[in-house]
Amino acid sequence: MTVAVSAWRQVRGRVDQQADFGAGHRWLELRVTAELEPPDPGQFIQLLIPSHASGAFLPRPMSVASVRPLRDGLMLGFLYVPIGVGTHALAALPAGAEVEALGPLGRGFPLDRPGTPVLVAGGRGVAPLLFAAESLARLGRRFELLFGARDRAHLVGLDEARRRVAGRGRLHLSTDDGSAGIKGTVVEALDRLSPRPDHPMVIHACGPHAMLAAVARWAAERRVTAWVAMESVMACGTGVCRGCPLARSARGRAAFGSQPPSLLGNRDYAMCCTEGPVFDSRDLDWERIE
């Protein structure tokens, strides 16, 4: 697992371009300076819009959906949905606008674990998994990508996903209305991938809370490890403000054991921004997370 607790920096970024991406989503390409360490899949960035151009006060956390090296920095891709003041301000930025980028933050998906990576994406949760798929493909590893949404139109990033699995992975679609792939949820799609003892699977999931909870249940019943990318309201993104706790399960408390409380959290609560956003699903108390 990547531990990047204090490799982060805050650097200048500039909107290279952004565009509608279908079903209310946006794709943003942000050019950042070279002091930013290249993020890993599942890590996130705190995007800060200059105060004159945004009514939002705090930076907004966004998963990295793609990384491209540039001569003098990185081009970061983000897939997001404008829902409130911060994301609407982001959506209104023209090419050339400045955005400060703080990162890379948190711990990403442990893609190096033995077993076949099964990437499970729900809706805009596909963002970090597009990045994960690309990484796996680059490493020459086989993987499965399950992608579910309400309907075909909400399978946003489908073309990207197709391109990234090409040759290396298999793409399994599911929609609630059956307009693409199987009719049903991603969990039903998971059912169709019967785990084979000789080829254990490791799930890496991101999506709406209810989906992650269902994935966690599914995995627990089958003794499959599931890594889930969580969200929380955040202020600092760096473990300092203690604003983003997620309640640990008994297993999580035991795993934390007698470690001293730290940036990662304390025995009762893990900080989403430092210990997460990616967690072993068994370590969280799903009853106490809304």
Partner 1 sequence: MRAPSRKSREPKVDLSVRIGPMELRNPVLTASGTFGYGDEYAHVVPLPSLGGVITKTVTLEPRAGNPPQRIAETAGGMLNTIGLENVGLLRFRSEKLPRLRSLGAVIVASIGGETPGELERLLGALGGEPGIAGFEINFSCPNIARGGARYWAVPRRLERTLARLRPLTRGAILAKLSPDVTSVGDLAIACEQGGADAVTAVNTFVGMALDLARRSSKLSRATGGLSGPAIKPLALQRCCEAARAVRIPVIGSGGILSGLDALEFMAVGAAAVQVGTASFIRPRAALQVLEEMEAFLRERGVRRIDDWRGSAMPSGDAVDEDPGRKPGLRAVTIVRADRSPRNRRGVRSPAFSRGRESRRA
Residues that bind ligand FES (CB under 6 A): 234-237, 239-244, 271-273
Other beta carbons less than 10 A from residue 192's beta carbon: 11
Question: Which residues have a Cβ under 8 Å from the Cβ of 163 and sit 6 or more positions away?
Answer: none
Region from 113-121, 148-156, 184-192, 267-275 binding partner 1, contact rule CB under 8 A:
267-275
> Which of partner 1, ligand FMN, a copy of itself, none sits in contact with 222, Cβ below 5 to 8 A by type?
none
The reply, when asked if residue 62 is annotated as ligand binding, is yes
Q: Sketch the per residue contact string, 97 through 136, with a copy of itself: x for CB under 8 A, - otherwise.
A: x---------------------------------------
Nearer to partner 1, 220 or 247 (CB): 247
Whether the CB-CB separation of 270 and 276 falls below 8 Å is answered with yes
Q: Sketch the per residue contact string, 65 through 94, with a copy of itself: x for CB under 8 A, - otherwise.
A: --------------------xx-xx--x-x
Whether the CB-CB separation of 105 and 44 falls below 8 Å is answered with yes
Residue 168 beta carbon to ligand FES: minimum distance, rounded to whole angstroms: 34
> What is the DSSP secondary structure assignment for residue 187, as one 8-state letter?
H
| 72/100 Cα distance (integer angstroms) | 16
Q: H or E element: which one contains 172?
A: strand 169-175
Whether the CB-CB separation of 140 and 73 falls below 8 Å is answered with no
Whether the CB-CB separation of 93 and 103 falls below 8 Å is answered with no
In order of 224, 248, 273, the CA distances from 279 in angstroms are 14, 10, 11
- Taking CB atoms, the residue at the shortest distance from ligand FMN is 241
Give me the residues that bind a copy of itself (CB under 8 A), please: 51-56, 85-86, 88-89, 92, 94, 97
Binding residues: 60-63, 86-87, 236, 241, 244, 273
Give me the residues that bind partner 1 (CB under 8 A), please: 6, 9-10, 48, 55-59, 100, 102, 232-247, 260-261, 263, 266-269, 288-290
